Amino acid sequence: MLPLRPRLRTALRPPWPDLSPLVDGQPAGRLPQAQARLWSLVLRARRVPHRVRQLPGGYTVQAPERFLRQAVDEITLYQRENISPHPDIPLLPVEERSRPTVAAMLGLCAFFVLTHRPWPDLGWYPQYWHSVGAGDAGLMLAGQWWRMFTALTLHADPAHVASNAVIGGAFLVLLSRRVGSGAAWLLAVLAGGLGNVLNVLAHGPAHLSVGFSTAVFGAAGALAGLKAVSGENTLAQVHSGARGWLLPVAAGLALLASLGTAGENTDIGAHFFGLLAGGLIALPAGILAVRHGFLHAAWGQAANRACGLLAGLLLAGAWAWGWLSGWPGSPA
C-alpha cells in the first residue's frame, strides 16, 4: 500500500492554471516557444513560481493558484510597457525564404558573366554595359536616372559579385522570411535605387559607383526597420531593458562599421544611404505586415509574387530605358 501514497498526493494536488487565457484570452497550451520563454524570464525576474511545458499544439506557462494573480499582473505590466500592441510579423516557411533568393543570386552572377565577355554578333561588349549602366553621378544628375537601378547589377570583378551574392543572399533570406521573397526583393531593389540617388546627391557629379551592395545594405536596413515597427522584444532586450527600436538600429550601424567600410574601393556613402533607405522604405511595409499579416492570405501570396515580378521589371525596365536612350553602336 505504501507506493500508492505518493500517487494519491499527486492526484489531490490542485492543478496549475495556464496563464495564456488570463493574460490575452488565447487558448491554453498554444503559446509559441519564444513567447513562453519570454514570459518565463519575466516571472523569474520577479521571483514568481511557474513552470513551462511543451504540448502538442504549442507551449504553456502555468503558475500555482496562490501566485496566479501576481503572475498575470507581472506579464500584463511587462507587455503594456515593453511590447507593441501589434502582433509580430508572421514568419514564412524555409522554402519560401530561400529558393527564390538563391535563384536570383545565381542570376546576378550569370549577369556578371554575360556583361564581362564580348558578344560581337550581338554588338555587346563589357565596356558598353558599364558606359550605359554604371552609377555615373554626373550623368544621373543630367537625367539618366535609370542608372540608379542598373548600377546595382554591375560589378567590377568576380570577388565583388561573389561577396555581394553571399552576404546579400543571407540578408535577403532573413528579410524574405519576414515579408516574403517577392516583397523582400522589391524592398531591396527600391532601397538600393534610393540609396544610389541619395549617394549621388551627397557626393556631387564626380562620383561613380557599381555593385549590389547598396541593395544589400538596403535589405539590412529593412530588417532593422521591420523589427523596430513590429515591436518584437528578444530575451536579451528584456534582460537589458532596451526598447524594441534600439537594438535593430544599433545592429544596422554595427554592420555598416564592420562590413561597409572595409576595402580600398569601398563606397561607404552607398552603404550608409542604402541602410538608411532600407529602414525608411520598410516602415510602411512593416506596418502593413504587423497589422494585416497579408502574406498568409491567398491574395497576399499573389501580391508577394507580384512584388517579385515588379522588382525584376524595375531592373529590366531600367536597362531597357538605358538601351533605348543611347546604347553604343558596335565597333567598326
Domain ranges of the chain: 12-82, 94-324
Sign of the Cα torsion 206, 271, 279, 109 reads positive
Measured distance CA(214)–CA(152) in Å, rounded: 7
- Tens digit of pLDDT at every position of the chain (332 positions): 445 455 544 445 568 889 988 887 788 888 888 888 889 999 998 899 999 998 887 899 999 988 999 999 999 888 777 654 444 555 555 445 678 888 999 999 999 998 888 877 777 778 888 889 899 999 999 999 999 999 999 988 888 889 889 888 888 988 888 778 888 899 999 999 999 999 999 988 888 988 898 999 999 888 888 777 765 544 444 444 444 555 556 666 666 666 555 555 667 888 889 989 998 988 877 676 656 554 444 456 777 888 899 999 999 999 999 988 876 654 43
**Distance of alpha carbon 114 from its chain centroid, rounded?**
29
Q: What is the pLDDT of residue 298?
A: 47
Measured distance CA(316)–CA(149) in Å, rounded: 9
Residue (of 224, 261, 215, 209) closest to 101 by Cα position: 215
Sign of the Cα torsion 78, 80, 83, 86 reads positive
Instruction: Dig out the grid coordinates for 26 from the structure.
Output: 488565447
Second-level CATH architecture of 94-324: Up-down Bundle (1.20)
Q: What is the pLDDT of residue 295?
A: 47
Measured distance CA(216)–CA(164) in Å, rounded: 7
Fold of 12-82: Alpha-Beta Plaits (3.30.70)
Q: What is the pLDDT of residue 168?
A: 86
Output the pTM of the full model.
Answer: 0.67
CB 276 within 8 A of CB 285: no
Q: What is the pLDDT of residue 234?
A: 46
Measured distance CA(154)–CA(266) in Å, rounded: 15
Q: What is the pLDDT of residue 189?
A: 95
Q: What is the pLDDT of residue 85?
A: 46
CB 31 within 8 A of CB 20: yes
Q: Residue 259, SS3?
A: helix
Q: Residue 169, SS3?
A: helix
Measured distance CA(202)–CA(273) in Å, rounded: 10
Geometric angle at alpha carbon 112, from 107 and 116, rounded to 5°: 150
Q: What is the pLDDT of residue 87?
A: 47
